[in-house]
Amino acid sequence: METVKIRRELLEYLLELARDFYPNEFAGFLRAKDGVFEEVLIAPDPHFGRSSAFFNTWMLPHDESIKGTVHSHPGPNPRPSGADLHFFSKFGGVHLIIAYPFVEGSVRAYRNDGSELRVEVVE
């Protein structure tokens, strides 16, 4: 299985965001440097609801370092929904889903087609 790398500090921040927005979803865009996800960008004026997250993509900067997305699922299922797969097809190449209870073990990574990737946390 192919691997995606994420900095521990970013992962801990994403888990905290998921907990803070619960029971609503949150979503963001992941910036990578040298093949490692290091930052999250939250679009201006987002709407985070119990079963979806919306934002205006035209408000995002043109940023070549954005290589993926992240969003939370307020339930324990980390698998992408049909809507998730549609979203995946529009942005980046790697997509993280953080499922309840929002701990390191509830994070999954996927390609645009929904195939799973292994998550490696780096210091």
Per-residue pLDDT, 53: 54
CA dihedral (56, 58, 61, 65) positive or negative: positive
* Closest CA relative to residue 26, chosen from 79, 97, 121, 85: 97
Per-residue pLDDT, 105: 97
More confident residue, 50 or 1: 1
Per-residue pLDDT, 59: 59
The answer to whether residues 109 and 37 touch, using CB atoms and an 8 Å cutoff, is no
Burial of 2 per CB tally in 10 Å (0-12, 13-18, 19+): exposed
Q: Which pair of structure tokens corresponds to residue 8?
A: 């521990």
**H or E, element range at 76:** none
> In the structure, what pLDDT confidence band is assigned to residue 26 with cuts at 50, 70 and 90?
confident
Does the domain spanning 19-46+64-118 belong to CATH 3.10.520.10? no
Q: What's the average model confidence in pLDDT over 33-60?
A: 71
What residue ranges do the domains of the chain occupy? 19-46+64-118
Per-residue pLDDT, 58: 59
Furthest C-alpha separation in the chain: 36
The answer to whether residues 51 and 25 touch, using CB atoms and an 8 Å cutoff, is yes
With a cut of 70, say whether residue 117 has pLDDT above it.
yes
The pTM of the full predicted model, rounded to 2 decimals, is 0.89
More confident residue, 50 or 10: 10
